[in-house]
Chain A
Amino acid sequence: MQPTELIKGLQKKNQDAFRRIYDMYADNIFGVIYTILRDETLAEEVLQDVFIKIWNNAHTYSEKKGRFFTWILNIARNAAIDKTRSKSFRNSSQNLNADFFVDILEDKTNFSSKIDSIGIKKYIKVLEPMCKKIIDLLFFKGFTQKEAAENLEIPLGTIKTRNRICIQKLKEVLEIK
């Protein structure tokens, strides 16, 4: 469920609402930022910037424009991509050979308690390579369908349904448990 009341509170500059929104989304956002930057220190910096932006710009969010999660996801991706253009990012060039989010998951041993780590690990085992790429581009990198189709060299019309199939699998793995 979308935390409508909390969002209203945030828009009225209520600090409690902000704290609860942070608790709800910090891991998701941190994960997205880290997937793009692959550097914990830089990712933490960006995470802070993103939540300061959320606080400052909350009044511009409207349900009509999309999901609140999507709204902060966009802020996070943009901030992280901005950071990749910074000098500190170019200097840190570690782990850049890792292309997809799956590499992070495979290496990872400790997960936040809120995460179904078994489900997630199961998910990447069954995930097709094409799914990994599609989710990486559409969800983690914020590509449009057209950009993703060009990047993966598959027909534009198939992106939408393929993406659905990939995310369906994730849903199934997480819900079966």
Chain B
Amino acid sequence: MDIKAYIASGILELYVSGSLSEKENAEVYEVLKKHPEAMAEVERIEKSLQQLSGALAPNRSDTIFSQIQSNIQEDQKQVIPVTRKRSSLPTYIAWAASIALLLGLFTQLNKNKTLKQQLVKNQIEQQLLEGKLKVAEEDLTTTKNILSVLRNKDILQVPLPGQKIDPTAYAAVYWDKDSEKVYIDVAGLPTPPPGKVYQVWSLKLNPLTPTSLGILDQFDDNKNKIFLLKNQNESEAFGITLEPEGGSTFPTLEMLYTLGTIES
């Protein structure tokens, strides 16, 4: 290599200015190792540029370095354990252990989360089932009550066949005279249209005197379609009419669905 031509090319000036690529820098470095005169030229260029840039510096306050020092000392205090040179094996082991621990923790956390979600789900299901059970128990109690009423020999059973307006309609009254209760079984009556309600009447036949026993409101909600009403009358017959909501004082006879007399 013609080292004089190399120096004259101006590459060393660019090298000092930092205007070369990483690859070119590495090439220059190799040349400098072999050619002391090139290295000497680099030193001269550097010194000149340092003189030039140093000449441009404003007067520098003496406190700057102490400020830098306090900054790096603060930093150093924080980083001492990390920057101290040690065998890297324990560090790797420590890292690996930390990562494993982290992964483990993470997995446990995830599991925990899943389990919690499962627990909540199960609790909700349990509540639902408990609710269903309660409903079923209530149903059972009601049904048992009804059964015991039907089996009671003291109770008077009065069938109420359908009338002209709906011959397929059917109802029955179970009258417990001693406790003055009547059970009205209306499973055979059609669901009343909106705004209408069935009303139960106790009748005296001679002369015909109707007395309202009550209205069968919430017809839909009563699953057994058996209503319990009070009856203090000396009834001779029972009738059920369809009345406007709230009931009527006198039965609307055109809307008489079922009627049955007591055989005595």
Interface residues, chain A, with chain B CB atoms under 8 Å away: 1-2, 13, 15, 18-19, 22, 25-32, 34-35, 40, 43-44, 47-48, 51-52, 55-56, 63-67, 69-71, 73-74, 77, 101, 104-105, 108, 110-112, 114-117, 119-120, 123, 135, 138-140, 142-145, 148, 160-164, 167, 170-171, 174-175
CB neighbours (8 Å) of A56 from chain B are: 72, 75
Which listed residue (A19, A120, A163) contacts B55, Cβ 8 A? A120
Asked if B71 is at the interface (CB within 8 A of a chain A CB), the reply is: yes
CB neighbours (8 Å) of B46 from chain A are: 67, 69
Q: How close is B231's CB to chain A, nearest CB, in angstroms?
A: 94
Which chain B residue shows the least CB distance to A47? B64
CB neighbours (8 Å) of B83 from chain A are: 13
CB neighbours (8 Å) of B13 from chain A are: 138, 160, 163-164, 167
Report the Cα distance A32→B140, complex, angstroms. 97
Q: How close is A14's CB to chain B, nearest CB, in angstroms?
A: 12
Asked if B130 is at the interface (CB within 8 A of a chain A CB), the reply is: no
Query: B114-137 CB contact bits vs A (8 Å, 1 = yes)?
Result: 000000000000000000000000
Q: Is the CB of A119 within 8 A of B10?
A: no
Report the Cα distance A46→B129, complex, angstroms. 72
Report the Cα distance A102→B180, complex, angstroms. 122
Q: Is the CB of A138 within 8 A of B19?
A: yes
Q: Is the CB of B25 within 8 A of A115?
A: no
Contacts A112-B54, A114-B54; A66 near B25 (Cβ below 8 A): yes
Q: Is the CB of B18 within 8 A of A70?
A: yes
Q: Is the CB of B60 within 8 A of A48?
A: no
Q: Is the CB of A64 within 8 A of B69?
A: no
Q: Is the CB of A52 within 8 A of B72?
A: yes
CB neighbours (8 Å) of A52 from chain B are: 68, 71-72, 75
Q: How close is A75's CB to chain B, nearest CB, in angstroms?
A: 10
* Majority-rule SS of A interface residues: helix
Q: How close is B26's CB to chain A, nearest CB, in angstroms?
A: 6
Q: Is the CB of B64 within 8 A of A160?
A: no
Which chain A residue shows the least CB distance to B67? A48
Interface residues, chain B, with chain A CB atoms under 8 Å away: 8-11, 13-20, 22, 25-26, 28-29, 42-61, 64-65, 67-69, 71-72, 75-76, 83
Which chain B residue shows the least CB distance to A44? B64
Which listed residue (A26, A74, A148, A174) contacts B51, Cβ 8 A? A174
Q: How close is A73's CB to chain B, nearest CB, in angstroms?
A: 6
Which listed residue (A22, A40, A65) contacts B68, Cβ 8 A? A22
Report the Cα distance A25→B67, complex, angstroms. 17
Q: How close is A107's CB to chain B, nearest CB, in angstroms?
A: 11
Q: Is the CB of A28 within 8 A of B54?
A: yes
CB neighbours (8 Å) of B57 from chain A are: 26-28, 30-31, 34, 112
In the assembled complex, 9 residue pairs joining A and B whose CB atoms fall closer than 8 Å, in A order, are A22-B65, A27-B54, A28-B57, A30-B58, A40-B58, A48-B71, A55-B72, A115-B54, A163-B13
Q: Is the CB of B18 within 8 A of A73?
A: yes
Which listed residue (A26, A74, A161, A171) contacts B10, Cβ 8 A? A161
Q: Is the CB of B68 within 8 A of A51?
A: yes
Contacts A63-B29, A115-B55; A163 near B72 (Cβ below 8 A): no
Which chain A residue shows the least CB distance to B7? A164
Q: Is the CB of A160 within 8 A of B50?
A: no
